Structure 1
Amino acid sequence: MPFRWSGRATQTLAAAALSALLLASAGKHFREPEFFDQVVPDFLCRDDSGAGPNGPLAVLSRQEWVAVCGLLEAGAAVGLLIPATRPATAGCVTALFTLFLAGHVDALRRAYGPDGTPRQRRVHALRLPLQAPLMAWAWSPTKPGAGQPALPKTVPGRRP
Structure 2
Amino acid sequence: MPFPRSGRALQSLSAAAMSALLLASAMKHFRDPLFFRQVVPDYLCLEGRDDGSEPDRRRPFAVMTREEWIALSGLLELAAAAGILVPPARKATATALAAMFTVFLAGHVDALRRAYTPVGTPGQRTVHTLRLPLQAPLILWAWSLRKPASSPVGREPGAWA
Q: TM-score range by the shorter chain?
A: 0.7 to 0.9
So what's the TM-score if we normalise by structure 1? 0.88
Match of 1:99 in 2: 103
TM-superposed deviation, 1:43: 0.3
SS of residue matched to 1:142: coil
Q: With structure 2 as the length reference, what TM-score do the two structures score?
A: 0.87
Residue number among 130, 138, 142 corresponding to 1:138 in the alignment: 142
Query: 1:18: Cα distance to partner?
Result: 0.2
Match of residue 90 from structure 1: 94
Q: Which amino acid aligns with 2:58?
A: N
- How does 1:110-149 map onto structure 2 within 5 Å? 110-147=114-151
In 2, Cα distance between the equivalents of 1:15 and 1:68?
Answer: 22
Q: 2:81 aligns with which of 65, 70, 77?
A: 77
Q: Deviations over 1:20-47 (max 9, x none)?
A: 0000000000000000000000000002
How far residue 56 of structure 1 moved from its aligned partner, in angstroms, is 1.4
Moved over 6 A (4+): none
**In 2, distance between residues paired with 1:9 and 1:3?**
9
Q: 1:52: how far off?
A: 4.6
**Counterparts of 1:24-63 in structure 2 under 5 Å?**
24-49=24-49, 50=54, 52-63=56-67
Counterpart CA distance in 1 for 2:114 and 2:4 is 49
Which is further off, 45-54 or 35-44?
45-54
Count of equivalent residues? 151
Identity %: 62
Q: Does 2:21 correspond to 1:21? A: yes
Separation of aligned partners in 2, 1:138 and 1:131: 11
The answer to which of 140-149 and 8-17 deviates more is: 140-149
* C-alpha deviation, 1:140, in angstroms: 1.0
The CA deviation at 1:61 is 0.4
Q: Residue in 2 aligned with 1:157? A: none
Mind listing any 5+ residue stretches in structure 2 that lack a counterpart? none
Alpha-carbon RMSD across the aligned residues, in angstroms, is 1.9
Q: Shift of the alpha carbon at 1:16?
A: 0.6
Among candidates 98, 105, 109, match of residue 113 of structure 2: 109
Structure 1 residues not aligned, in runs of 5+: 152-160
TM-aligned CA deviation for residue 4 of structure 1: 6.4
